[in-house]
């Protein structure tokens, strides 16, 4: 198994080895990996608070996200979709929507990246926003179309053909599923799709979750990077973004999350 010697964000060479996992943790979804390969990963932490999941399953996960992520994550997409909508004010999605409403005019155009089953863009559309979606999972793409959401791409890494500019681009629990070099490329590329006064909205797992233990969803193996407030700030500033908002939040669903709003 590969390892990591220095922090790719703050450049520190004082990474701390936290734990080696030889089996999945309670509740963790391995997306069929357990049937094909031996599960093994290492968790490291930097003094800047950032955690790294190190393993050799990047090709496997890439195929999962493209072909059958939904098959392993949602037995019934429609049922899950309706259940979340029914939560109303007890939903993390509604808190997210309210945050957007307070800062973004509903005449603005939004691009939601990694839309999944589309709860977030669907609700935004109901609030009067014009929303385009990007999603790779085939089942999810079909479901988005069923909900009359506009799908502009099925590959979030290849967006050269997108000519439209947006007031807001959203990454809701998406970036952590990529290795750091890919995260940088993604943010740099999507920056080109922003209008001059446009903004990018980001949610990623917060490493403060470690206070409750590392056997939590925030640290599942598909999350290559678990950010701290400090590490996310360093990354965004290094990419020449202005940070308009950056805060740790504890969601209704008991997830520790970093919420950020950035601009050019």
The answer to whether residue 175 sits within a structural domain is yes
The answer to whether residue 46 sits within a structural domain is no
Q: What is the mean pLDDT of residues 31-53?
A: 91
Residues near 136 by beta carbon (within 8 Å), at least 6 away in sequence: 65, 66, 114, 154, 155, 156
Which pLDDT tens digit goes with each residue over 99-142?
999 999 888 999 999 999 999 999 999 999 999 999 998 889 99
CA angle, 97 then 196 then 117, to 5°:
30
The pLDDT of residue 218: 97
The answer to whether residue 102 sits within a structural domain is yes
Q: How many residues would you count in the chain?
A: 264
The pLDDT of residue 160: 85
| pTM across the whole model | 0.95
The answer to whether residue 28 sits within a structural domain is no
Which residues constitute the domain of residue 218? 58-263
Strand order of the β-sheet with 166-172 is: 150-153, 130-134, 109-113, 166-172, 194-205, 256-263, 242-250
Which pLDDT tens digit goes with each residue over 192-225?
999 999 999 999 999 999 999 999 999 999 999 9
Q: How far apart are CA 247 and CA 46, in angstroms?
A: 20
Burial class (CB within 10 angstroms; exposed 0-12, middle 13-18, buried 19+) of 143: buried
Q: How far apart are CA 230 and CA 223, in angstroms?
A: 18
Q: Is pLDDT at 254 greater than 80 in this prediction?
A: yes
Q: Which of 44, 50, 40, 36 is nearest to 5 (CA)?
A: 44
Any idea what the CATH number is for the domain that residue 66 is in?
3.40.50.150
CB-CB contact of 48 with 230 (8 Å): yes
The answer to whether residue 239 sits within a structural domain is yes
Q: Is pLDDT at 3 greater than 80 in this prediction?
A: no
Split at pLDDT 50, 70, 90, the class of 1 is: low
Q: Which of 92, 20, 100 is nearest to 53 (CA)?
A: 20
Q: What is the mean pLDDT of residues 45-62?
A: 94
Q: What is the mean pLDDT of residues 91-102?
A: 92
Q: How far apart are CA 65 and CA 177, in angstroms?
A: 10
Beta pairing partners, 227? 206
Mean pLDDT of all residues belonging to the chain: 93
Q: What is the mean pLDDT of residues 72-95?
A: 85
CA distances from 155 to 53, 66, 91, 138, 211 (A): 24, 9, 28, 11, 35
The answer to whether residue 257 sits within a structural domain is yes
The answer to whether residue 34 sits within a structural domain is no
Helical (H) or strand (E) element with 250 = strand 242-250
The pLDDT of residue 105: 87
Q: What is the mean pLDDT of residues 29-53?
A: 91
Residues near 83 by beta carbon (within 8 Å), at least 6 away in sequence: none
The pLDDT of residue 141: 93
Stretch among 23-27, 46-50, 66-70 having the lowest mean pLDDT: 66-70
Ranges assigned E (strand) in 186-226: 194-205, 225-226
The answer to whether residue 167 sits within a structural domain is yes
Which pLDDT tens digit goes with each residue over 142-198?
999 999 999 999 999 989 889 899 999 999 999 999 999 999 999 999 999 999 999
The pLDDT of residue 161: 87
Number of domains in the chain: 1
The pLDDT of residue 164: 94
């Amino acid at each position: 198994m590969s390892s990591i010697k220095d922090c790719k964000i703050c450049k520190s060479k004082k990474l701390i080895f936290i734990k080696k996992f030889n089996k999945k943790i309670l509740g963790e979804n391995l997306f069929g990996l357990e049937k094909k390969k031996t599960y093994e990963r290492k968790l490291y932490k930097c003094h800047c608070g950032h955690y790294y999941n190190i393993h050799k399953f990047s090709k496997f996960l890439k195929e999962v996200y493209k072909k059958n992520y939904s098959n392993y994550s949602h037995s019934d997409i429609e049922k899950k979709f309706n259940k979340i909508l029914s939560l109303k004010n007890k939903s993390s999605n509604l808190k997210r929507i309210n945050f957007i409403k307070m800062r973004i005019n509903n005449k603005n155009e939004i691009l939601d990246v990694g839309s999944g089953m589309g709860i977030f863009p669907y609700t935004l559309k109901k609030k009067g926003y014009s929303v385009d979606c990007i999603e790779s999972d085939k089942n999810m793409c079909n479901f988005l179309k069923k909900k009359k959401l506009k799908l502009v791409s099925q590959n979030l890494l290849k967006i050269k053909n997108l000519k439209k500019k947006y007031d807001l681009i959203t990454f809701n629990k998406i970036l952590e599923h990529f290795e750091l070099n890919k995260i940088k490329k993604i943010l740099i590329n999507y920056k080109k799709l922003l209008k001059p006064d446009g903004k990018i909205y980001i949610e990623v797992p917060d490493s403060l979750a470690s206070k409750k233990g590392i056997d939590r969803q925030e640290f599942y193996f598909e999350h290559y990077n678990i950010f701290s407030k400090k590490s996310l700030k360093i990354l965004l500033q290094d990419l020449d973004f202005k940070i308009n908002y950056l805060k740790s939040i504890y969601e209704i669903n008991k997830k520790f999350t970093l919420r950020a709003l950035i601009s050019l």
